[in-house]
Amino acid sequence: MKNLKYFILITFISTSFFSCDDDFLDTVPNDRISSELFWQTDQDAVFAANAVYPFLLQDAFSFTMWDAMSDIGHVTLQWRDESLVEKGAHNSSNGKVASEWAFAYRGIQAANIFMGNVEKMTPQDPALIERLKAEVKVIRAYSYIRLAILYGDVPLVDHELTLEESRELTRTPVEQVWDFISDELTASAVKLPKVQSDKGRITKGAALALKARAMLYAGRYTEAALAAKEVMDLQVYSLNASYKDLFSYQAQNTTEIILDRQFAKNVNNNNIFNLTTPNSIWPQVNQFVPRKRAVDVYQMANGKDITDPTSGFDPYNPYINRDPRLGYTIYTLGDTLLNGTIYNPKPTSGTGDAIGSSENSTFSGFNVKKYLNPEDMAQPTNCGINIILLRYAEVLLTYAEAKIEANDIDQSVLDAINEVRQRPDVNMPPITVMGGQEELREIVRKERTVELAFEGLRYFDIRRWRVAENLTGIIRGMTYENNSGELVTIALTGFDIAFDKERDYLWPIPNDERVLNPNLTQNPGW
CA–CA separation, 277 and 380 (whole Å):
9
pLDDT value of position 34: 59
Sequence-ordered list of residues with C-beta below 8 angstroms from that of 148, at least 6 positions apart, any chain: 154, 174, 177, 178, 181, 214, 217, 218
State residue 125's pLDDT score: 97
- What one-character DSSP code corresponds to residue 335? P
pLDDT at 33 (0 to 100): 58
* pLDDT of the residue at 36: 67
Residue 172 is predicted with a pLDDT of 98
Nearest 5°: CA angle at 398, between 396 and 404?
Answer: 105
pLDDT value of residue 81: 96
- Sorted by where each starts, the structural domains of the chain and their CATH numbers stand as 196-262+386-448 (1.25.40.390), 267-384+467-491 (no CATH)
User: CB-based burial of residue 239 (10 Å sphere; 0-12 exposed, 13-18 middle, 19+ buried)?
Assistant: buried
Report the chain (526 residues): mean pLDDT per 10 consecutive residues.
41 33 46 70 96 96 96 94 95 97 97 96 96 98 98 97 92 98 98 96 98 98 98 98 97 97 96 96 94 97 98 97 98 97 96 93 96 96 98 98 98 98 98 94 98 98 96 94 94 90 97 96 97
29-63 in b/e form (b: 16+ CB < 10 A) is eeeebebeebbeebebbbbbbbbbbbbbbbbbbeb
475 strand-pairing partners:
492
C-alpha angle 228-230-235 in degrees, rounded to nearest 5:
105
Spatial distance between the Cα atoms of 108 and 367, rounded to a whole number of angstroms: 35
Note the pTM of the prediction, 2 decimals: 0.92
